[in-house]
């Protein structure tokens, strides 16, 4: 009798940095036993540009466009965290119309970002049609921004003291048309994906993130709310004029990939509600407070925090009274979500890695900074 024992040594597999499902340059060092993930070590830094260091060598207004390029799917929320921190330092009050326009920019960005999530998540799970549909609707948002500020992706809509430009003639009507259109389209995505058996089989019960672990790793945004924790900065620490708006904080208690997906789908509908209220109530007036050419906030420190589509995006600015910050610290939610990823992957198969990684919706631009 030939006796041969099968070798079951662990195999190390590099996923990335040039893998289509890693959504950027990320490398996952997977330790596998057969097809099962035993351990994972995310390797980041491929996109590190030293943005925090650059911040120390630029004046306060000069640094703003750099923030657009962090979470490039939602440039407005990066802008917002930075200007909120600097305005707090300066004690600057923003005109009412500018606050409304800022919220419009933030919510349009949220929808655009969730549409990209939907597109890529569907694509990762072999539902290519979803990609085409979601990108089609995102295009309408890009057009709105092109009409408003000229840029489509890195918009720099925010400026210290307000927004860069007032919205042009016809913008409000076009935005209203978009708000009327989108809910029907989200219904369409629901019919396409949410009830789909293959999609459900790949996401339901997969990649569990218990709420206590999520909190311990300071997860936020849909990743945290998909674990049933109702924490949303728009409600918990309102900025601009979110305290005057009527919307629901969406949560899902299933803690799995499907839960995180469902939270984002519902959030698009809530963002439409917010947009409609802003467009209805949009007051007349100035869109930018008077800010001198030279910005010199008094010495001190401030922390600005906003609910970006991915979670808490924070900006900690320390001023020494000069024209450039002493320190700009950027707190990127995706960084925290990648740190907890190994815990979500253990015990799942290689094929599930793609679904789980997709469900936390990372952007490497903000992870690596």
Partner 1 sequence: MIDLLCSQLGEAVQSAEQVGDELRVRLPASSLMAAARLCKEHGYNYPCDLTAVDTRSELVMVYRLISLNSGQQVVLSVGLPRSGARVPTLSGVYGAAEWLEREAFDLFGVRFEGHPDLRRILLTDDWEGHPLLK
Q: How far is the CB of 305 from partner 1 (least distance, A)?
A: 8
Nearer to partner 1, 53 or 191 (CB): 53
Nearer to partner 1, 114 or 305 (CB): 305
Q: How far is the CB of 211 from partner 1 (least distance, A)?
A: 10
Among residues 20, 34, 45, 183, the one that binds partner 1 under rule CB under 8 A: 45
CA–CA dist 88, 84 (Å, integer) = 6
Using CB under 8 A as the binding rule, whether residue 326 contacts partner 1 is answered as yes
Using CB under 8 A as the binding rule, whether residue 369 contacts partner 1 is answered as yes
Give me the helix-helix angle, 350-359 and 96-124, nearest 10°.
170
DSSP H or E run through 316: strand 311-319
Using CB under 8 A as the binding rule, whether residue 234 contacts partner 1 is answered as no
Nearer to partner 1, 200 or 301 (CB): 301
Residue 338, helix vs strand vs coil: helix
Q: How far is the CB of 53 from partner 1 (least distance, A)?
A: 6
What are the residues facing 28 on neighbouring strands? Answer: 15, 42
Nearer to partner 1, 139 or 216 (CB): 216
Site string for partner 1, 280-319 (x = CB under 8 A): -----------------------x--------x-x-x-x-
CA–CA dist 116, 228 (Å, integer) = 23
Q: How far is the CB of 20 from partner 1 (least distance, A)?
A: 23
Nearer to partner 1, 39 or 200 (CB): 39
Q: Which of 194, 190, 264 is nearest to 223 (CA)?
A: 264
Q: Return the range that interacts with partner 1 (CB under 8 A); candidates 68-76, 143-151, 158-166, 210-218.
A: 210-218
CA–CA dist 69, 169 (Å, integer) = 28
> From the CA atom positions of the chain, what is the Rg in Å?
21
Tokens 């927004």 belong to 163
As given in the structure block, the two tokens for residue 17 are 């940095």
Distances (CA, A) of 96 to 64, 102, 103, 175, 287: 21, 10, 11, 19, 8
127-132 contact pairs (CB < 8 A, 24+): 127/192, 127/193, 127/196, 127/198, 127/199, 129/192, 130/189, 130/192, 130/193
Using CB under 8 A as the binding rule, whether residue 44 contacts partner 1 is answered as yes
Q: How far is the CB of 329 from partner 1 (least distance, A)?
A: 5
Using CB under 8 A as the binding rule, whether residue 70 contacts partner 1 is answered as no
Nearer to partner 1, 145 or 335 (CB): 335
CA–CA dist 200, 127 (Å, integer) = 12
Using CB under 8 A as the binding rule, whether residue 339 contacts partner 1 is answered as yes
Going by the DSSP 8-state scheme, the letter that residue 5 receives in this structure is P
What are the residues facing 197 on neighbouring strands? Answer: none
Q: How many residues bind partner 1 (CB under 8 A)?
A: 33
- Footprint on residues 211-230 left by partner 1 (CB under 8 A): 213, 215-218, 229
Nearer to partner 1, 219 or 265 (CB): 219
Q: Which of 117, 130, 49, 46 is nearest to 357 (CA)?
A: 117
Nearer to partner 1, 50 or 298 (CB): 50
The total of other beta-carbon atoms located within 10 Å of residue 329's CB is 16
Residues that bind partner 1 (CB under 8 A): 44-45, 48, 50, 52-53, 56, 213, 215-218, 229, 231, 236-237, 303, 312, 314, 316, 318, 320, 326-327, 329, 331, 335-336, 338-340, 368-369
């Amino acid at each position: 009798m030939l006796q041969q024992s099968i070798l079951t040594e662990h195999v190390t597999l590099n996923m990335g940095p040039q893998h289509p499902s890693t959504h950027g340059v990320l490398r996952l060092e997977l330790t596998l036993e057969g097809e099962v993930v035993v351990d994972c070590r995310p390797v980041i830094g491929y996109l590190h540009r030293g943005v925090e260091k650059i911040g120390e060598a630029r004046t306060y207004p000069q640094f703003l466009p750099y923030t657009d390029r962090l979470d490039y799917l939602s440039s407005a929320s990066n802008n917002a965290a930075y200007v909120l921190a600097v305005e707090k330092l300066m004690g600057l009050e923003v005109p009412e119309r500018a606050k409304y326009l800022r919220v419009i920019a933030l919510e349009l960005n949220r929808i655009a970002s969730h549409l990209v999530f939907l597109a890529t998540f569907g694509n990762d799970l072999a539902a290519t049609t979803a990609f085409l549909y979601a990108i089609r609707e995102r295009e309408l948002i890009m057009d709105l921004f092109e009409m408003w500020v000229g840029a489509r992706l890195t918009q720099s809509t925010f400026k210290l003291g307000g927004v860069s430009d007032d919205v042009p003639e016809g913008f409000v009507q076009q935005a209203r048309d978009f708000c009327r259109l989108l809910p029907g389209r989200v219904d369409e995505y629901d019919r396409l994906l949410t009830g789909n058996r293959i999609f459900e089989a790949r996401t339901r019960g997969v990649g569990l993130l218990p709420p206590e672990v999520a909190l311990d790793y300071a997860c936020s945004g849909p990743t945290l709310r998909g674990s049933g924790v109702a924490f949303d900065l728009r409600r918990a620490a309102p900025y601009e004029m979110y305290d005057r708006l009527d919307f629901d904080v969406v949560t899902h208690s299933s803690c799995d990939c499907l839960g995180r997906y469902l939270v984002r789908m519902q959030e698009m509908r809530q963002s439409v509600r917010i947009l409609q209220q802003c467009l209805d109530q949009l007051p007349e007036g100035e869109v930018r407070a008077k800010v001198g050419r030279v910005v010199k906030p008094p010495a001190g420190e401030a922390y600005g925090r906003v609910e970006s589509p991915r979670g808490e995006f924070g900006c900690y600015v320390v001023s020494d009274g000069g024209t450039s910050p002493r320190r700009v610290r950027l707190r990127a939610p995706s960084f925290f979500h990648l740190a907890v990823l190994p815990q979500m992957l253990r015990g799942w198969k290689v094929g599930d890695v793609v679904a789980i990684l997709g469900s936390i919706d990372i952007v490497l631009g903000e992870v690596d900074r």
